[in-house]
Amino acid sequence: MATKILVVDDTPANLVAMRRLLADCGAELVEAASGNEALAQCLDNRFALILLDVNMPDMDGFEVAQLLAETDHMRDTPIIFVTAAYADDLNRLKGYRFGAVDYIAKPVNDAILQSKVRVFLDLYNARQQLQMAMDELSERNRQLIDEVAERERAEAQVRHQATHDMLTGLPNRMLFHDRLRSAIARAPRQGTGFALALLDIDGFKQVNDQHGHPAGDALLVAIAGRLRQHLRTNDSVARLGGDEFALILEDVSDTTALLERCKQVGAKLAEPYPLQGRNGDFVAHVSASIGIAYHDDSHGSDEALIQAADRALYQAKDGGKNRCVMVT
C-alpha cells in the first residue's frame, strides 16, 4: 500500500506549490481544498502525514485537527500546520493542543518543508516496518501455539491409544493393572475396602460365529457402554481382551451389598441387544459370569488378587454361567 500525505489548503496556487515541492518525496499526495473535503479523505485513506492550512473558510485547520483527534484511526496521524500566523504564540499553543506536531510558516521555505516531511515519512515507514515485524512475530507465535497444541493433542492420543482398548475405548490390560496396583496402595489409608470382579460374556462366541465379527464387535461396544453407565464414578472398568472384562469396585464395606451390586451388573448385561449382522437385524441374548475377590491382607499383590477373582470366575462358569461367585 502506497504511503500517502494529505495536503489541505483552500488556495489552488498553494496546492500547486506543495505538489511541486513534494513531487519527489516518495509518497503519494492527496489534496483537499477545504476542511470538509479533508475529513472525507480521511474516511477513505490512511495518511503518514497531514499538511494542514490553518486559515480556511467554513472550517479552519484547528477544527479539522480537533475532529481528527476524535477519530480512532486518525488520532495518531502527525499534523503539521501551515500558517501565516506562525508567530502567534496563542495560535501555536492551540494547534499543539489539537494534535499538531510542528508548524511551517508561510511563505513556505522549500528546504525546511522537504526536510520535515522526510523526517515524518522516515518515522512512518519505520513504524510500519516495526508493525509488520510485530504482526509476523504474532503470527509465528500463534502458529507455534497451534503446533504445540497439536503436538500435545497427538501425544495425548498416543498415550490414550497405548492405555485404552481400540474397539470399546475402555482402559486396556496395562492401564487396568496400573489402576489395580493404585487401589491396593491406597487401601490401607482408606476406611473402606475394594473388590476386583472379572467377567466373561456367556454366549459371545455364538454371536460371532452366527452373525459375523462386525456384529460381535458391536456387541462388545454395547456391553462396554452398559458397564460404563452402571458403575459409579470412582469404579473402574477395563477390557482385558476378547470377551473378558474387569471391574475395580471401590468403597466396599459390606460383602453382601457387593455381591448384590455385581448381580445387578450381570442383570444389566443380560438384557437384549438389538444388533445388525451379516443376515440383517437380530437381537443378541448373552449373559455374564462374574468372579469377585474382595481385597484383604491375604491378597498382598495385584496378581494374587487377580488369581483369586479368576478362581471365582471359573467357579461361576463351571456352575452353569450367568451367575456371580465371590471369594474373600
Residue 79 has pLDDT above 90, yes or no: no
* Tens-place pLDDT, residues 227-247: 999 888 889 999 999 999 999
- What pLDDT does residue 99 have? 63
- Residue 96 in 3-state DSSP? helix
Q: How many CB atoms lie within 10 A of CB 84?
A: 12
CA distances from 286 to 97, 190, 218, 238, 264 (A): 87, 36, 13, 19, 15
Domains and CATH numbers, the chain: 4-131 (3.40.50.2300), 173-327 (3.30.70.270)
Catalytic residue among 10, 165, 200, 243: 243
Residue 60 dihedral angles phi and psi, to the nearest 5°: -85, 175
- Identify each DSSP E strand in 61-202 by its residue range: 79-83, 100-105, 193-202
Residue 253 dihedral angles phi and psi, to the nearest 5°: -120, -10
- Confidence grade of residue 80 (pLDDT, cut at 50, 70, 90): confident
Residue 197 has pLDDT above 70, yes or no: yes
Beta bridge partners of 221: none
Span 197-209, average pLDDT: 95
* Tens-place pLDDT, residues 138-194: 999 999 999 999 999 999 999 999 999 999 999 999 999 999 999 998 887 777 789
Is 243 designated active site?
A: yes
- Confidence grade of residue 94 (pLDDT, cut at 50, 70, 90): low
* Tens-place pLDDT, residues 265-308: 999 999 999 999 998 999 999 999 999 999 876 556 889 899 99
- What pLDDT does residue 89 have? 57
